[in-house]
Amino acid sequence: MHRLGEHHDTEHTALFYEDRDGFVDPISGFLSDGAANGDRLMVAVAHDKAAWLREALGRVADRIDFVDSAGLYERHGSMLTAIHSQLERHGRPGQGRIRLVAESALGARARADARAYMCYEAASNELYRDFDAAILCPYDAARLPDEILDAARRAHPRVAERGHAGPSRRFEDPRSFVRAFARAEPAPPGAEHHRLEHPDDLAGVRSIVRARAASAGLSAHAIEDLTIAVSEIAANAFIHGGAPRALCSYQQDGDLIVQIRDGGAGPADPLTGYLPPLGDRAGGRGLWLAHQLCDIVEITSYASQTDVFLHVRIAD
């Protein structure tokens, strides 16, 4: 089994640890090797864990760009967009290599939020393959639920644990993972339902969403973001989907959720919306924008029904 980051091709590795030493030792070795190779080093972990690494690394820590993990992981779509920007700047093949350590506080996230994050972990493999990068994602095996640990093995092509690193035997194709991992949960009693009969209904959709978001206590900025996202997805339901079409809104687990349903089969590519649209190709821009503007976007698709769930957190 090779050392973390040893190969000079793109690596995306899940590190499973159970205590401080299990976190610090492999990560400090990973970063020290990167510093010796002249790699760009970035770390996005909780403040206490950043302090552990600073203590272990000494002067090497001065070479590391420590990023506020709470800010980076506030929203999944903007998180991957920020990482993509760093890869473009520092990980272009032949121009440099980047090593990134990034850990989301999954234990503090609601179940739907953690599930959505794992879909991003899987989808990011498609993004990373274009860059010279080594991405290390720590997972607290002593505290996280088995569902998340299993998903991490399926979403990462490599795993590291107990001093060894190698290919994940559970790794799945990212598209298969995202399609299988999404969940459709029934709307609770009392949810508001509105049929969408004609494209002219889109103006009414925007009014409905603004009123629903305002009554939930969302800020003016969040209301506008959600309204734009819903407009994009509802328009997609008319352009690409089929009848019957409907909008449903409700509050659940601290989120305002807007569900748009149509009678079509949904995007042909399950990763549509996760990754930046390519070049001048228009397809997928509406879903990608929704991922940037909402906290969670999930899609469930069948032969004759597609549901898009847009979540926005309601501030305490």
| Residue boundaries of the structural domains of the chain | 11-180, 186-313
Superfamily of chain region 186-313: Histidine kinase-like ATPase, C-terminal domain (3.30.565.10)
Check if 11-180 and 186-313 are the same fold.
no
pLDDT at 264: 92
Residues 287 and 239: beta-carbon distance below 8 Å: no
Query: What sign has the CA pseudo-torsion 289, 72, 87, 172?
Result: negative
**Chain-centre distance for alpha carbon 28:** 25
Q: Which residue has the tokens 């609770």?
A: 188
| Cα→Cα distances 234→49, 115, 140, 301, Å | 42, 24, 39, 15
The answer to pTM > 0.85 is: yes
Q: Are strands 158-161 and 11-17 parallel, antiparallel or unpaired?
A: parallel
pLDDT of residue 1: 38
Does CATH place domain 11-180 in 3.30.420.40?
no
Q: β-strands 255-262, 245-252: how paired?
A: antiparallel
Residues of the chain with pLDDT under 50: 1, 281
Residue 315 is predicted with a pLDDT of 78
How far apart are alpha carbons 311 and 252 in whole angstroms? 9
What is the secondary structure of the chain as a DSSP string? -PPTT-SSS-EEEEEEESSHHHHHHHHHHHHHHHHHHT-EEEEE--HHHHHHHHHHHGGGGGGEEE--HHHHTSSHHHHHHHHHHHHHHH--TTT--EEEEE---GGGS-HHHHHHHHHHHHHHHHHHTTS-EEEEEEEETTTS-HHHHHHHHHH-SEEEETTEEEE-TT---HHHHHHHH---PPPPTT-EEEEE-SGGGHHHHHHHHHHHHHHHT--HHHHHHHHHHHHHHHHHHHHT--SSEEEEEEEETTEEEEEEEESS---SSTTTTTSPPPTT--TTHHHHHHHHHSSEEEEEEETTEEEEEEEEEPP-
The pLDDT, as a whole number, for residue 6 is: 58
Q: What is the pLDDT of residue 183?
A: 78
Can you give the pLDDT at residue 106?
A: 95
The dihedral built from the CA positions of residue 215, 219, 224 and 229, taken in this order, carries a sign that is negative
